[in-house]
């Protein structure tokens, strides 16, 4: 065991969309910055495109982090670059109606929509955002758009932050071609090039000792993969916490910071996979996995924020596909015999802040009850997705419901209306947890103020998805970067 002490002007905890941006931006602005990341720095040449190797290396808990009842798989990156290394690279800003919702309902009105938009532009340019071109849209995404047109449901292709994509399809287990412009390839190296940024990987933060309204140090464990090999302590004038919506509140809770609201108001924005078998080749696992979406049933109003649902094309490597779709038991075996003919989509249903995160040692306990209204929207989304696939020529559709028969026509969807939607029997994924360090004016109901500072602590900011009062967008990479730039005073 070894003990290490660091001293720096600014300490940034977490290297994803918020922390990676903050570290790079501040270093370029001339500040001395130490960036702490619990995971490893996994370079392109180490990304073997093998699930059994990359999941433990890039994902928290190897991709096996679940809500307490087992109902939702909560996927998060654990590597330099955080979830920007393993996400689908979709670049979607916060809709103006969501900003209006935050202002009207939560009093989050310090920044104007124009400032949020300017921040989106700066971040998008920095990560190489561009529109997916028609020749890059794979057959799976084309089928989704085709079925949407047949049913009169609007859709489009995404903007993404891939540059020079070769279409390997392995986005979810790291890009071996450095095409996905994560923070590990953009903000962080630009900061390091100044000589002002130092990066320490294998550094798990446990607590933030504080006194008289200031954090006095950052303390934690040094790791060799998952084994503790020492301890560290950082003395810094300013601390930026960006460990994500699951782990930022745990650090605050361990430090007795954040007030009664810390860990509350969790949104998971769960997604349900629906897959289908077509008579022709689809090869969903090649090309850009998530290139197209149908948002004709999505709603967004100042009164309610983001609602309804959207459908998004998705591709996966065999292990992920087996766990998350393509039927159950014998149906799964049958589907995998024709894996090249399988297409898939995710039903993304924005939720209200209903969950909470609490500590069990270093591990989170994620409590997430389903609201009846949300479940009914998910039911509608699953049925609509099945109809879209049938309209685009699918022979069979597999719903994410344990025991539900294979769907071969619209009549087979009648039983869905009375089908129980229960935790662990409804297959759900979360890639966009938000809200556990909510922004607001009242320290009793929020954790950070309108400047992203933790209430009552003058040198601690939170710059990640945990600050969002409600679901910010269908994808949170760009929204987190928008928030980080505003919190840093860059706009």
Contact predicate 206/254, CB 8 Å: yes
pLDDT band per the 50, 70, 90 thresholds, residue 319: confident
The confidence score (pLDDT) of residue 327 equals 59
Q: How far apart are CA 394 and CA 225, in angstroms?
A: 44
Name the CA radius of gyration of the chain, rounded. 22
Classify strands 218-224 and 203-207 as parallel, antiparallel or unpaired.
antiparallel
Nearest to 366 by CA among 71, 113, 27: 71
For residues 69-96, average pLDDT: 97
Residue 348: strand, helix, or coil: strand
Q: Rounded distance, CA 9 to CA 237, Å?
A: 5
Q: CB–CB of 379/416 below 8 Å?
A: yes
Segment 442-450 shows an average pLDDT of 98
CA distance 219 to 140: 47
Half-sphere exposure of 170 (CA within 13 A, CB side): 19
| Better-predicted residue by pLDDT, 72 or 225 | 72
pLDDT for position 405:
92
Which pLDDT score is estimated for 329?
A: 72
Provide mean pLDDT across the span 264-268.
Answer: 98
Q: Which residues pair with residue 423 across a beta bridge?
A: 426
For residues 346-354, give the mean pLDDT. Answer: 95
pLDDT band at 333 (very low <50, low <70, confident <90, very high): confident
> For 435-459, what is the mean pLDDT?
98
Residue-level pLDDT at 2: 85
**Residue 90 — pLDDT band, cuts 50, 70, 90?**
very high
203 Cβ partners below 8 Å, 6+ apart? 36, 37, 38, 220, 221, 222, 223, 232
- State yes or no: pLDDT of 437 exceeds 90: yes
Cα maximum dimension of the chain:
68
Domains and CATH numbers, the chain: 1-126+173-263+435-491 (3.50.50.60), 130-160+271-350+371-422 (3.30.410)
Burial class (CB in 10 A: 0-12, 13-18, 19+), 334: middle
Go through the chain and tell me how many residues it has: 491
Question: What are the C-alpha distances in Å from 480 to residues 22, 208, 226, 379, 464?
Answer: 11, 23, 27, 29, 6
Q: Is 148 left (phi over 0), alpha (psi -120 to 50) or beta?
A: alpha
Q: Name the pLDDT band for 326 (thresholds 50, 70, 90).
A: low
The pLDDT mean for the chain works out to: 95
Query: Under DSSP, is residue 34 helix (H, G, I), strand (E, B) or coil?
Result: strand
Burial 217-256 (b: 16+ CB within 10 A, else e): bbbbbbbeeeeeeeebebebebbbbbbbbbbbbbbbbbbe
> According to the model, what pLDDT value does residue 334 have?
74
* Alpha-carbon span 368 to 187, nearest angstrom: 33
pLDDT at 300 over 80: yes
Q: What percent of the chain has pLDDT over 90?
A: 92
- In this model, does residue 330 exceed pLDDT 80? no
Alpha carbons 431 and 194: distance in angstroms, whole number: 33
- Check pLDDT > 90 for residue 133: yes
pTM over 0.75: yes
| Beta carbons within 10 angstroms of residue 359's beta carbon | 15
Can you tell me the distance from the alpha carbon of 38 to that of 15, in angstroms, rounded to the nearest whole number? 9
322: confidence class by pLDDT, cuts 50, 70, 90: confident
Specify the DSSP element, H or E, that contains 303.
none
Which 3 state secondary structure label does DSSP give 356? strand
Residues forming beta bridges with residue 214, ordered by sequence position: 211
Q: What beta strand segments (E) does 216-315 contain?
A: 218-224, 227-241, 271-277, 292-294, 298-301, 305-308, 310-313
Give the chain's end-to-end CA distance (angstroms, integer).
44
């Amino acid at each position: 065991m070894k003990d290490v002490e660091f001293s720096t002007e600014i300490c940034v905890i977490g290297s994803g969309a918020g922390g990676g941006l903050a570290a790079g931006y501040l270093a370029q602005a001339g500040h001395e910055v130490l960036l702490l990341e619990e995971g490893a720095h996994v370079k392109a040449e180490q990304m073997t495109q093998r699930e059994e190797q990359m999941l433990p290396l890039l994902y928290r808990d190897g991709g096996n982090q679940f809500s307490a009842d087992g109902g939702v798989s909560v996927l998060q990156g654990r590597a330099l670059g955080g979830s920007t290394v393993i996400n689908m690279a979709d670049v979607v800003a916060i809709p103006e109606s969501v900003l209006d919702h935050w202002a009207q309902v939560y009093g989050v009105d310090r920044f104007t929509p124009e400032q949020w938009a300017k921040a989106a532009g700066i971040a998008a340019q920095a990560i190489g955002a561009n529109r997916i071109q028609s020749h890059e849209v794979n057959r799976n995404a084309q089928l989704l758009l085709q079925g949407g047109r047949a049913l009169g449901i609007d859709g489009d292709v995404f903007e993404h932050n891939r540059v020079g994509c070769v279409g390997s399809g392995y986005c979810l287990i790291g890009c071996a071609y450095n095409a996905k412009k994560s923070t590990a390839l953009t903000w962080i190296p630009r900061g390091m090039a100044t000589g002002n940024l130092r990066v320490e990987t294998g550094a798990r933060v446990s607590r933030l000792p504080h006194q008289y309204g200031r954090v006095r140090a950052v303390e934690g464990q040094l790791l060799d993969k998952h084994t503790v090999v020492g301890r560290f302590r950082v003395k810094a004038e300013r601390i930026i916490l960006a460990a994500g919506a699951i782990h930022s509140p745990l650090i605050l809770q361990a430090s007795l910071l954040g007030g009664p609201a810390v860990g509350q108001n969790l949104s998971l924005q769960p997604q349900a996979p629906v897959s289908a078998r077509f008579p022709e080749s689809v090869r969903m696992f090649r090309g850009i996995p998530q290139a197209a979406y149908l948002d004709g049933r999505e709603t967004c109003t100042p009164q309610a924020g983001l609602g309804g649902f959207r459908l998004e094309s998705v591709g996966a490597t065999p292990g992920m596909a087996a766990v998350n779709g393509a039927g159950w038991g014998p149906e799964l075996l049958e589907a995998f015999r024709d894996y090249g003919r399988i297409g898939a989509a995710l039903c993304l249903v924005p939720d209200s802040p209903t969950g909470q995160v609490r500590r069990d040692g270093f591990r989170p306990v994620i409590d997430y009850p389903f609201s009846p209204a949300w479940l009914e929207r998910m039911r509608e989304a699953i049925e609509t997705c099945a109809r879209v696939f049938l309209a685009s020529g699918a022979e069979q559709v597999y719903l994410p419901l344990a025991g539900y028969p294979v769907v071969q026509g619209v009549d087979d969807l009648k039983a869905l209306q009375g089908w129980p939607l229960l935790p662990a029997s409804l297959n759900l994924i979360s890639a966009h947890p938000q809200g556990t360090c909510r922004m607001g004016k009242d320290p009793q109901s929020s954790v950070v103020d309108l400047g992203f500072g933790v209430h009552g602590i003058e040198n601690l900011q939170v710059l990640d998805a945990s600050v969002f009062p409600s679901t910010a967008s269908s994808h949170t990479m760009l929204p987190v970067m928008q928030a980080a730039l505003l919190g840093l005073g860059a706009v």
